[in-house]
């Protein structure tokens, strides 16, 4: 979703010599509710006259929304010469549907929503053009996520939250890498965003380069030991795409056991560093209990779907309690 609020829309009424006779202050608000599983969305637009000064004749507003290039309807009229009075709020909700090509489904639709607001005083001549502004969104059919269609605010960079309570040492490994390795992958304020890699065959190849059967030896002292890597194989920041062809060249960590029982995030909550990494490694590889590794990978997969990330879309990653 996206919102736009402007509490300071001004209208000035002058005589034929340019002297100000009166003013009006409007507030506008908009909310666009997109769906990651539908090509239809709803928008609610509001306007209220909040303040007047001097002597004003009756005021009217006209407000239209235009969506291009593949929207239906292309133009929606919220109000046309609608009288407005002090304190009276106007509100309208309407729906728009995008129709991107589906055969073949090879194109993202980058849509422009353009709004026009015209404020008029009775029996007056307008000397300035209507107010215009815009917003942008992206829709696709079966491109970013298989067998679904949907729309997102593509210029916003979402954040993937990874919780220690759910992923234990796998989350701690990411936290250690973000804080101690020079690239600080996905750490807002220090590093650059991560970027989704959509091509599965490339992600599988990345995973083999870092964690292939001949490149990783399991530690029998760790429950269901598995090779965990960060940045994820399904990102363009994967070590395998940045000069690493063997996981031994990543920084190395191992899960640390802190208790007993079946709650793996509690039993294996943290990692310890193996050796003396330089801090300039292009990846980190860890001995992590398999369920924690796979659950965190599933969280990334679910995030890709919920945010409808396209190939090379950016996202931040934050480890939280």
- pLDDT (tens digit, 9 = 90+) per residue, 67-103? 988 999 999 999 999 999 999 999 999 999 998 766 6
**What residues contact 239, with CB distance under 8 A and at least 6 apart?**
206, 209, 210, 229, 231, 247, 249, 250, 281, 282, 283
pLDDT value for 107: 82
pLDDT value for 103: 60
pLDDT value for 42: 97
In the predicted model, is pLDDT for residue 44 greater than 60?
yes
| Position 262 confidence tier, pLDDT thresholds 50, 70, 90 | very high
> What secondary structure letter does DSSP report for 86?
B
In the predicted model, is pLDDT for residue 105 greater than 70?
no
pTM (2 d.p.): 0.92
- pLDDT (tens digit, 9 = 90+) per residue, 167-191? 999 999 999 999 999 999 999 999 9
Mean pLDDT, to the nearest integer, of 207-212?
Answer: 98
306-316: buried (b, 16+ CB within 10 Å) or exposed (e) per residue?
ebbbbeebbbb
Give the count of beta carbons closer than 10 Å to the beta carbon of residue 9: 18
Distances (CA, A) of 251 to 118, 173, 215: 60, 10, 14
> Prior bond to 200 cis, omega within 30?
no
In the predicted model, is pLDDT for residue 104 greater than 90?
no
pLDDT value for 99: 87
In the predicted model, is pLDDT for residue 150 greater than 90?
yes
Chain mean pLDDT for the chain: 96
pLDDT value for 115: 97
In the predicted model, is pLDDT for residue 9 greater than 80?
yes
């Amino acid at each position: 979703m996206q919102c736009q609020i402007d509490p300071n829309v001004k209208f000035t009424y002058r005589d034929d010599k340019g002297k100000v006779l009166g003013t009006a202050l409007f507030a506008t608000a908009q909310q666009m509710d997109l769906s990651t599983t539908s090509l239809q969305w709803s928008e609610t637009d509001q306007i209220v006259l909040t303040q007047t000064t001097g002597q004003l004749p009756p005021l009217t507003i006209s407000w239209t929304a235009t969506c291009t290039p593949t929207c239906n309807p292309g133009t929606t009229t919220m109000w046309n010469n609608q009288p407005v009075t002090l304190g009276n709020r106007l509100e309208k909700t309407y729906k728009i549907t995008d129709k991107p090509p589906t055969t073949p489904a090879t194109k993202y639709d980058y849509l422009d929503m353009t709004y026009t607001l015209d404020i008029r005083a009775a029996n007056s001549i307008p000397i300035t053009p209507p107010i215009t502004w815009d917003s942008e969104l992206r829709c696709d059919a079966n491109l970013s996520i298989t067998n679904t269609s949907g729309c997102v605010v593509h210029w916003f960079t979402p954040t993937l939250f990874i919780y220690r309570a759910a992923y234990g040492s796998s989350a701690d490994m990411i936290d250690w890498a973000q804080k101690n390795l020079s690239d600080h992958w996905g750490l807002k304020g220090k590093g650059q965003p991560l970027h989704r890699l959509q091509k599965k065959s490339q992600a599988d190849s990345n995973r083999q380069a870092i964690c292939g059967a001949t490149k990783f030896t399991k530690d029998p002292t760790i429950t269901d030991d598995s090779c965990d890597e960060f940045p994820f194989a399904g990102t363009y920041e994967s070590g395998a795409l940045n000069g690493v062809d063997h996981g031994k060249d990543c920084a190395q960590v191992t899960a640390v056991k802190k208790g007993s029982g079946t709650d793996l995030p509690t039993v294996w909550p943290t990692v310890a560093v193996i050796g003396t990494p330089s801090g300039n490694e292009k990846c980190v590889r860890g001995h992590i209990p398999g369920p924690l590794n796979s659950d965190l990978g599933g969280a990334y997969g679910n995030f890709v779907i919920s945010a409808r990330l396209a190939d090379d879309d950016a996202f931040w990653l934050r480890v939280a309690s």
